[in-house]
């Protein structure tokens, strides 16, 4: 042992002066420090070497420094009880036992500097203790320990402790470091069970950034599973995603309106052999609504129509989505057909099915039926997991479940009425209104027709109201005196005397006011309650105004975008079939007709070109996208930016890559640097690694080198 008196002596003096008198004797003994030659270098340097943290850390929780362990400990706090391994370890264990997180952390720092890592069970206990804290500061400290251990002693960590840390992070709404831990586990082929993973994802998708990370991680899991399956690895069974994790991510995509990301995730289900349950079908339908894909959602209808009665309440979301698309395509006939079918469902559906039939699965094609390379989604329409944590809470917009039946909301009625009014086909409207009223398939019950006529009168649609009265009479369902008197009063208020005279004549013919002279009717024209008429569901004034408000709102929102939906549907079909020439012709036709392309238009084209590896063409399309953005006609989502970025990265167009990154920064969008860095390392790891700008042969090469170096610096690629 060598005797060393160093500058730490002065620090020790200052430290002892702050101690109580009872410690003076013991402190005096420690004025000289006896340490072995092995420990001398550590004490003299008194600096724990800054860990080389992977670029994942820099990217995921954006800490300005790597949080050097010694930085959190002041010189006065240094351990001077001697260099005894046992004493320092005892103090660390004591702090952990008493749940003193701050004391445990500082004790660990002291121990690490002198003796390296303690036993694995102590490390696990320390990380566990940090995980129990809800303070983000301590959770990030746990991440630091994990990263340093992975660099120096990866054998100390087990998957259960990392899974616990990831769960603690997402519970504290820290999805970035949580995803970092999960990616480490996936790289080590030590992913936690799918049940634990679902619990982590459940918390992760509560935020939009968490949803982006969860969806990217799910894509990563699927690719890992596919590679393992090809190689027939045992690891494939451990990483195969289940239905629940897909449902959680897809539902979050719907909530945050990530239509393109949802489409990508949805198509991974048949690729990985995951079966879609009743929840999946509803969410898939909602994603098709976001993307305007009516043909895709209709492929599920024949199977949903056959489910037993108990499932009808669940599948009202499906019919709501389909009806919404019919209206978006301005297809009133298809909407009417669906409404009439819903009116009859309660009579035709079986109350209960045989278990074997209820568990029967079906295959639904994704894309065209004629595509040889198309995917088939396996669905179980009557599989509804009782222990599912997912609750579908879509807005009750068009289709409701009321009194054991599917019923139309006021908004759906308003869309239907407005559609037929535009087409001047009140005869067909009367027919469907009578059918709905007969089956009580609306909230207005048996007063539906009179409520619709009243709403039309109050909105000034007197001609429509008169036509409905005539059509109802012709159909053998004449209206009561109240409806006639409301219209007559409106005619007189509007000084439409000729129409009023014709209506009064019609009323007398129907048996109303036969004993009252015309002069008396004119002088005392006011609403007369028809006390003889009865309704099974008398509408209140408030509920009547709901229908009127819905009609007014529908007129305000009236914007025929059906042509855009039809063009997009055609482009999507051609792109799925890899018929890009036809897709491009359709796109050019839109431009010629002055029809503004939407984000879906560009998404489908990008998807088609990307599937064929036509990255150069994507750069041309990117020019069109920028022009539309500059003119204020297009708003691009984060998912589309990310898809562009990945394609440019794969094609080696680094100037375009940095351009897209700048757009994302400008709009405050989250960038998953780990994803982009991984793609770069996989494809361009050694690109221009040793080339200097002065050594570039051409100006083009010098320019490309500049952007490659810029990306390396931004993404943190070594």
The whole-angstrom separation of Cα 109 and Cα 402 is 64
Query: CA dist 27 to 34, 106, 326, Å?
Result: 14, 20, 85
Residue 65 makes CB contacts below 8 A (sequence gap 6+) with 71
User: Quick check: 600 and 643 in contact, CB under 8 A?
Assistant: no
pLDDT score for 2? 40
**pLDDT digit string, tens, across residues 492-551:** 888 888 888 888 888 888 887 666 766 676 666 644 434 334 444 444 444 457 889 999
Model pTM?
0.83
pLDDT tens digits, one per residue of 162-215: 999 999 999 999 999 999 999 999 988 889 999 999 999 999 999 999 999 999
Instruction: Give the pLDDT band of residue 130 (cuts 50, 70, 90).
Output: very high
- pLDDT, one tens digit per residue, over 75-95 is 444 445 445 788 888 899 999
User: Per this entry, what is the length of the chain?
Assistant: 718
Helix (H, G, I), strand (E, B) or coil at 459: coil
pLDDT level of residue 3 (50, 70, 90 thresholds): very low
- Contact yes or no for 174/136 (Cβ under 8 A): yes
162 membership: H or E segment, kind and range: helix 159-171
Q: Is the pLDDT of residue 14 over 50?
A: no
Examine the pLDDT at 298 and tell me if it is beyond 80: yes
Nearest 5°: the CA angle 115, 121, 122 is 50
Confidence tier at 554 by pLDDT (50, 70, 90): confident
Distance CA 3, CA 11 (A): 18
Question: Hey, is 433 helix, strand or coil?
Answer: helix
pLDDT band at 369 (very low <50, low <70, confident <90, very high): low
**Per-residue pLDDT averaged across 212-229, rounded?**
93
Range name among 302-306, 578-582, 690-694 with the lowest pLDDT average: 690-694
**pLDDT-based confidence at 356, cuts 50/70/90?**
low
Structure token digits, residue 56: 């994942």
Q: What percent of the chain has pLDDT over 70?
A: 79
Q: What is the pLDDT of residue 17?
A: 40
Sign of CA dihedral 204, 209, 215, 221: negative
Dihedral of the alpha carbons of 576, 579, 584, 590, in degrees to the nearest 10? -60
What mean pLDDT comes out for the span 398-421?
91
379 CB-contact burial (10 Å; exposed 0-12 / middle 13-18 / buried 19+): buried
44 has a pLDDT exceeding 50:
no
Query: Which pLDDT score is estimated for 149?
Result: 87
Residue 358: which pLDDT band, with cuts at 50, 70 and 90?
low
In this predicted structure, what is the pLDDT of residue 664?
Answer: 96
- Indicate if the alpha-carbon torsion angle 591, 596, 599, 601 is positive or negative: negative
Q: Looking at the DSSP assignment, which residues form a beta bridge with residue 33?
A: 4
Q: Over the chain, what is the mean pLDDT?
A: 82
Cβ-based neighbours of 346, under 8 Å, separated by 6 or more = 309, 312, 404, 405, 406, 439
**H or E stretch including 3?**
strand 2-4
Which residues on neighbouring strands pair with residue 2, listed in sequence order? 35
Interval 656-682 mean pLDDT: 95
Work out whether strand 375-379 and strand 362-366 pair parallel, antiparallel, or are unpaired. Answer: antiparallel
3-state helix, strand, coil in the chain (%, to 5): 65, 5, 30
Helix (H) or strand (E) holding 366, with range, is: strand 362-366
pLDDT at 47 over 60: no
276, pLDDT greater than 70 = yes
Kind and range of the H or E element at 17?
A: helix 8-17
d(CA 380, CA 357): 10
Residue 186, classed as helix, strand or coil, is: helix
d(CA 623, CA 176): 32
* Higher pLDDT, residue 371 or 567: 567
Q: Where are any strands of DSSP class E within 426-503?
A: none
User: Are the C-beta atoms of 390 and 398 separated by less than 8 Å?
Assistant: no
Q: Which of 434, 285, 281 is nearest to 361 (CA)?
A: 281
Which of 212, 258, 256, 251 lies closest to 599, judged by CA? 258
pLDDT at 567: 95
- Selection from 246, 205, 204, 196 nearest residue 222 by Cα: 246
pLDDT reported for residue 368:
59
Q: Residue 305 pLDDT more than 80? A: yes
The per-residue b/e assignment along 27-41, b for 16 or more CB within 10 angstroms, e otherwise, is beeeeebebeeebee
Return the beta strands (E) in 523-575 as ranges.
none
Mean pLDDT along residues 393-417: 85
Contact status, residue 599 vs residue 636, Cβ threshold 8 Å:
yes
**H or E segment and range at residue 109:** helix 101-115
- CA dist., res. 579 & res. 602, Å (int): 15
pLDDT band at residue 350 using 50, 70 and 90 as cut-offs = low
What are 703-713's pLDDT values in tens digits?
999 999 999 99
Mean pLDDT (whole number) for 604-619: 95
pLDDT per residue as tens digits for the range 422-481: 888 889 999 999 999 888 777 777 788 989 999 999 999 999 999 999 998 888 888 888
* Mean pLDDT within 58-82: 43
pLDDT band with cut points at 50, 70 and 90 for residue 68: very low
DSSP secondary structure letter of residue 118: -
- Report for 33-47, 258-272, 332-346: range of highest mean pLDDT: 258-272
Secondary structure (3-state) at 686: coil
DSSP of 199-254, one letter per residue? HHHHHHTTSHHHHHHHHHHHHHHHHHHHHHHHTT-THHHHH---HHHHHHHHHHHH
């Amino acid at each position: 042992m060598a005797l060393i008196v160093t500058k730490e002596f002065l620090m020790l003096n200052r430290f002892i002066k702050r101690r109580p008198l009872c410690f003076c004797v013991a402190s005096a003994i420690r004025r000289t420090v006896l340490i072995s030659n092995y420990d001398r270098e550590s004490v003299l340097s008194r600096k724990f070497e800054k860990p080389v943290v992977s670029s994942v850390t820099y990217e995921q929780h954006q800490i300005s420094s790597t949080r050097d362990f010694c930085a959190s400990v002041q010189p006065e706090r240094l351990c001077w009880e001697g260099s005894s391994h046992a004493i320092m370890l005892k103090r660390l264990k004591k702090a952990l036992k008493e749940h003193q997180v701050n004391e445990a952390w500082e004790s660990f720092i002291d121990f690490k500097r002198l003796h390296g890592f303690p036993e694995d069970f102590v490390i696990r206990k320390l990380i566990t203790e940090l995980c129990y804290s809800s303070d983000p500061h301590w959770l990030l400290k746990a991440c630091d320990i994990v990263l340093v251990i992975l660099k120096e002693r990866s054998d100390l960590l087990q998957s259960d402790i990392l899974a616990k840390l990831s769960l603690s992070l997402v519970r504290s709404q820290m999805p970035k470091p949580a995803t970092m831990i999960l990616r480490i586990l996936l790289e080590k082929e030590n992913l936690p069970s799918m049940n634990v993973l679902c619990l982590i994802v459940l918390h992760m998708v509560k935020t939009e950034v968490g949803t982006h990370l969860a969806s990217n991680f799910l894509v990563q899991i699927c690719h890992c599973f596919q590679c393992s399956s090809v190689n027939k690895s045992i690891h494939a069974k451990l990483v195969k995603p289940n239905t629940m994790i897909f449902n959680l991510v897809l539902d979050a995509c719907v909530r945050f309106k990530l239509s393109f990301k949802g489409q990508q995730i949805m198509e991974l289900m048949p690729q990985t052999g995951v079966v879609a349950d009743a929840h999946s079908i509803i969410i898939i339908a909602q994603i098709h609504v976001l993307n305007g894909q009516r043909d895709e959602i209709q492929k599920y209808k024949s199977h949903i129509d056959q489910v037993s009665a108990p499932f009808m309440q669940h599948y009202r979301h499906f019919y709501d989505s389909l009806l919404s698309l019919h209206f978006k395509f301005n297809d009133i006939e298809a909407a009417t057909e669906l409404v009439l079918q819903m009116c009859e469902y309660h009579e035709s559906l079986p109350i209960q099915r045989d278990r074997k039939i209820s568990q029967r699965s079906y295959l639904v094609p994704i894309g065209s039926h004629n595509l040889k390379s198309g995917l088939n989604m396996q669905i179980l329409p009557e599989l509804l997991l009782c222990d599912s944590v997912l609750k579908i809470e879509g807005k009750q917009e068009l289709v409701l479940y009321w009194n054991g039946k599917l019923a139309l909301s006021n908004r759906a009625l308003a869309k239907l009425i407005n559609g037929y009014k535009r087409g001047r086909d009140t005869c067909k409207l009367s027919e469907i209104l009578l059918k709905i009223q007969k089956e009580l398939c609306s909230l207005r019950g048996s007063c539906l027709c009179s409520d619709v006529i009243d709403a039309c009168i109050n909105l000034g649609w007197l001609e429509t109201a008169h036509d409905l009265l005539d059509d109802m009479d012709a159909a053998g369902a004449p209206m009561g005196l109240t409806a006639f008197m409301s219209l007559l009063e409106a005619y007189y208020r509007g000084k439409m005397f000729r129409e009023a005279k014709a209506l009064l004549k019609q009323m007398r013919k129907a048996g109303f006011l036969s004993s009252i002279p015309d002069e008396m009717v004119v002088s005392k024209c006011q609403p007369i309650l028809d006390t003889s008429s009865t309704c099974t569901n008398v509408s209140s004034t408030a509920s009547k105004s709901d229908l009127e408000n819905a009609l007014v709102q529908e007129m305000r929102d009236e914007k025929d975008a059906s042509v855009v939906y039809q063009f997009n549907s055609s482009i999507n079909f051609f792109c799925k079939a890899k018929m890009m020439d036809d897709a491009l012709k359709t796109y050019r036709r839109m431009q010629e007709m002055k029809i503004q392309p939407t984000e879906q238009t560009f998404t489908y084209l990008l998807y088609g070109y990307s599937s064929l590896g036509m990255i150069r063409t994507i750069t041309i399309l990117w020019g069109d996208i920028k022009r539309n953005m500059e003119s204020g006609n297009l708003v691009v989502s984060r998912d589309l930016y990310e898809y562009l970025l990945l394609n440019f990265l794969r094609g080696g167009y680094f100037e375009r890559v940095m351009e897209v990154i700048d757009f994302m920064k400008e709009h405050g969008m989250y960038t998953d640097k780990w994803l982009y860095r991984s793609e770069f390392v996989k494809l361009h790891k050694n690109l221009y690694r040793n080339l200097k700008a002065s050594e570039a042969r051409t100006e083009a090469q010098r320019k490309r080198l500049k952007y490659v170096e810029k990306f390396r610096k931004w993404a943190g690629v070594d």
